[in-house]
């Protein structure tokens, strides 16, 4: 097969245009072209009046070798790379022990799935509940029921991204094409096939729930075991002078699980577990993350600004944006986890704290667009002195947000115009914030450090120069956005094991090695492979 890149066609092109463009590019007659499959379809909307679709296609042609020779100097015509996933190991017939995966978020799911597919029959431990029960707890909390600290947006089967927009792209380097394996497994579990070829695939929350169940079933069918409501409390370590070997795990139900290899896919909110690991001497470093607010505008305004008269075209869907501003005070403000046509969600996992995040359905049909507008912070500058100091900072801000919201899990909120003018809000305008249980209008600068307010005040008008209306006075802000990524890194070496605990494989977002569903899935595969290749079957 040949891969042709950068084929540009108008947004409203008809079905024959793509084969025509391919024939023209290759300079061959129609009989020579045997098959076409679209590998990627993106768009270029820089010129709103002339939005172009950009295709990468794989084609089967007669005379492939001659064509390769003819286009030897053309980087837009290449041999299609082999992107099929190949297993790196196979478990021995008589397994003397089983690997353990802690956490059933995207990283843990893919680690467990790959291990199961290679025959290792993993044991999976997840502190939260199975996804249907978890959905009830989470939606209940959004409808003013009590927060369940073990079953919420952060904890439970499917991990942090279950109630999300389900965006499946990131900028991670993926030379081994693990990302394709992730997408293929999602499709096998019921995701729409288009995620394989659209340039910014997303799944939406409800579809994710049933996909997670199917993937769990596959792990079980292959001999894996999944234990919900089972939190890992402590490691059993042997060793001295800061160098350890893993012997087993102490679990919240009182059980002791002897094991030699554990993938630790905790996610960024397992603060109690980070503390326990630190107390036991597992090497952890503080790492940068970002803090700020969620911003909401009407989606129609974003669509109009990005797509002009083409707003509403089903191929384009609801428009997204990605914005960055470097401030005078040296800070960088950027948009993050933009959810077109979505809602802002209550993402707390600890009582007495308020956190915002965003999600949407596959259709992205809700009235508002939301996105985090956050400021990058670093341990050196903002929370020095202790590997877990970032967690303390997050907690402080989330407590202030809880208090400013009225101590009932309402999020504190403010109109953009009032925030820019430095005065509290008292009344909503045209944009109704979507966060539930509710929003308490106030002065949001109370819940973040001054440098954050300052930076965001400078950035919003700058963003308005790119998206007209972004600084619109009655757009809304809610807060506080603190769980943008993990505040810690559980350092691992080239063998993917903790640099001071043999047998422990820190992975995914919580360990500092992924950011988002797709990259967490990719990291899960990587670490599962490393574990399989180091597997020692001795009892």
The binding site for ligand FAD (CB under 6 A) comprises: 102-108, 125-128, 153, 155-156, 159-161, 163-167, 231-232, 265-267, 270, 273, 337, 345, 347, 357-359, 508-510, 514-518, 520
Annotate 183-236 with DSSP letters as a single string.
HHHHHHTT--GGGGTBSS-B--HHHHHHHHHHHHHHHHHTT-EEESS--EEEEE
Looking at the Cβ atoms of 266 and 416, the one nearer to ligand FAD is 266
- Closest distance of CB 107 from ligand FAD, Å: 3
Q: Is 450 helix (H, G, I), strand (E, B) or coil?
A: helix
Nearest to 38 by CA among 19, 61, 62, 52: 19
- Closest distance of CB 74 from ligand FAD, Å: 34
- Structure tokens, 41: 């379809």
Burial class (CB in 10 A: 0-12, 13-18, 19+), 314: exposed
Question: How many Å apart are CA 70 and CA 343, to the nearest integer?
Answer: 51
- Closest distance of CB 532 from ligand FAD, Å: 19
Question: How many Å apart are CA 238 and CA 258, to the nearest integer?
Answer: 12
Looking at the Cβ atoms of 7 and 359, the one nearer to ligand FAD is 359
Looking at the Cβ atoms of 129 and 472, the one nearer to ligand FAD is 129
Cross-sheet strand order for the sheet of 289-298 = 324-326, 332-339, 368-377, 289-298, 476-481, 411-415, 439-441
Q: How far is CA 51 from the centre of its chain?
A: 28
- Closest distance of CB 478 from ligand FAD, Å: 13
Looking at the Cβ atoms of 310 and 361, the one nearer to ligand FAD is 361
Looking at the Cβ atoms of 138 and 425, the one nearer to ligand FAD is 138
- In total, the chain counts a number of residues equal to 539
465 forms bridges with which residues in the sheet? none
Looking at the Cβ atoms of 57 and 510, the one nearer to ligand FAD is 510
- Structure tokens, 206: 């409800």
- Closest distance of CB 78 from ligand FAD, Å: 29
Looking at the Cβ atoms of 24 and 280, the one nearer to ligand FAD is 280
Looking at the Cβ atoms of 55 and 510, the one nearer to ligand FAD is 510
- Closest distance of CB 150 from ligand FAD, Å: 8
Question: How many Å apart are CA 203 and CA 195, to the nearest integer?
Answer: 8
Phi and psi at residue 382, to the nearest 5°: -115, -20
- Closest distance of CB 99 from ligand FAD, Å: 15
- Closest distance of CB 369 from ligand FAD, Å: 13
- Closest distance of CB 66 from ligand FAD, Å: 43
Q: Is 86 helix (H, G, I), strand (E, B) or coil?
A: coil
Looking at the Cβ atoms of 304 and 478, the one nearer to ligand FAD is 478
- Closest distance of CB 400 from ligand FAD, Å: 20
Please say whether the beta carbons of 329 and 348 come within 8 A: no
Please say whether the beta carbons of 508 and 266 come within 8 A: yes
Nearest to 294 by CA among 369, 395, 204: 369
Looking at the Cβ atoms of 155 and 470, the one nearer to ligand FAD is 155
Question: How many Å apart are CA 114 and CA 285, to the nearest integer?
Answer: 29
The HSE-up count of residue 507 (CA atoms within 13 Å, CB side) is 38
- Closest distance of CB 252 from ligand FAD, Å: 8
357 forms bridges with which residues in the sheet? 345
- Closest distance of CB 155 from ligand FAD, Å: 3
Label residues 493-522 b or e (16+ Cβ within 10 Å = b). eeebbbbbbbbbbbbbbbbbbbbbbbbbbb
Looking at the Cβ atoms of 299 and 453, the one nearer to ligand FAD is 299
Looking at the Cβ atoms of 257 and 389, the one nearer to ligand FAD is 257
Q: Is 67 helix (H, G, I), strand (E, B) or coil?
A: helix
């Amino acid at each position: 097969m040949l891969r042709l890149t950068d084929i540009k066609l108008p947004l409203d092109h008809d079905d024959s245009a793509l084969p025509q463009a391919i024939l023209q590019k290759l300079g061959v007659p129609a009989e020579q072209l045997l098959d076409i499959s679209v590998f990627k379809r993106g768009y270029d909307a820089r010129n709103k009046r002339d939005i172009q679709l950009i295709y990468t296609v794989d084609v089967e042609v007669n005379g492939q070798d001659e064509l390769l020779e003819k286009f030897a100097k053309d980087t837009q015509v290449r041999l299609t790379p082999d992107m099929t996933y190949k297993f790196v190991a196979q478990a021995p017939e008589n397994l003397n022990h089983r690997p353990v995966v802690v956490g059933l978020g995207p990283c843990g799911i893919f680690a467990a799935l790959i291990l199961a597919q290679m025959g290792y029959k993993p044991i999976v431990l997840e502190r939260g509940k199975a996804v249907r029960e978890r959905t009830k707890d989470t939606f209940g909390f959004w409808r003013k029921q009590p927060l369940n600290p073990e079953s919420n947006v952060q904890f439970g089967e499917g991990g942090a991204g279950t109630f999300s927009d389900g965006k499946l792209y990131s900028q991670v380097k993926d030379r081994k094409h693990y990302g394709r394996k992730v997408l293929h497994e999602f499709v096998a579990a019921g995701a729409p096939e288009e995620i394989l070829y659209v340039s910014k695939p997303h799944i939406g929350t409800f579809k994710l729930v049933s996909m997670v169940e199917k993937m769990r079933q596959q792990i079980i069918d292959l001999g894996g075991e999944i234990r919900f409501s089972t939190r890992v409390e402590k490691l059993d370590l042997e060793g001295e002078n800061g160098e350890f070997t893993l012997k087993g795990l102490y679990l919240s139900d009182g059980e002791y699980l002897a094991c030699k290899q554990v993938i630790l896919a905790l996610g960024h909110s397992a603060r109690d577990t980070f503390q326990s690991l630190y107390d036991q001497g597992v090497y952890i470093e503080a790492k940068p993350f970002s803090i700020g607010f969620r911003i909401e505008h009407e989606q129609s305004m974003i669509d109009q600004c990005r797509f002009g008269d083409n707003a509403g075209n089903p191929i384009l869907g609801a428009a997204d944006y990605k914005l960055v501003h470097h401030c005078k005070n040296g800070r960088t403000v950027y948009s993050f986890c933009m959810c077109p046509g979505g809602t802002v969600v209550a993402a707390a996992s600890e009582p007495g704290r308020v956190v915002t995040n965003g999600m949407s359905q596959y259709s992205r049909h809700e009235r508002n667009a939301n996105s985090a507008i956050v400021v990058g912070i670093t341990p050196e500058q903002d929370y020095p002195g202790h590997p877990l100091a970032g967690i303390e900072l997050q907690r402080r801000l989330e407590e202030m947000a809880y208090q400013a919201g009225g101590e009932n899990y309402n999020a504190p909120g403010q109109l953009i115009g009032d925030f820019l003018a430095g005065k509290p809000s008292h009344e909503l305008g045209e944009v109704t914030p979507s966060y539930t249980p509710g929003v308490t209008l106030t002065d949001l600068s109370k819940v973040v450090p001054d440098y954050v307010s300052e930076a965001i005040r400078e950035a919003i008008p700058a963003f308005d120069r790119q998206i007209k209306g972004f600084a619109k006075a009655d757009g809304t802000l809610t807060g506080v956005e603190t769980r943008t990524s993990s505040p810690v890194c559980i350092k691992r070496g080239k063998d993917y094991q903790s640099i001071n605990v043999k047998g422990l494989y820190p992975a995914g977002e919580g360990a500092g090695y992924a950011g988002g569903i797709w990259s967490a899935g990719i990291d899960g595969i990587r670490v599962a492979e490393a574990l399989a290749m180091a597997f020692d079957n001795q009892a």
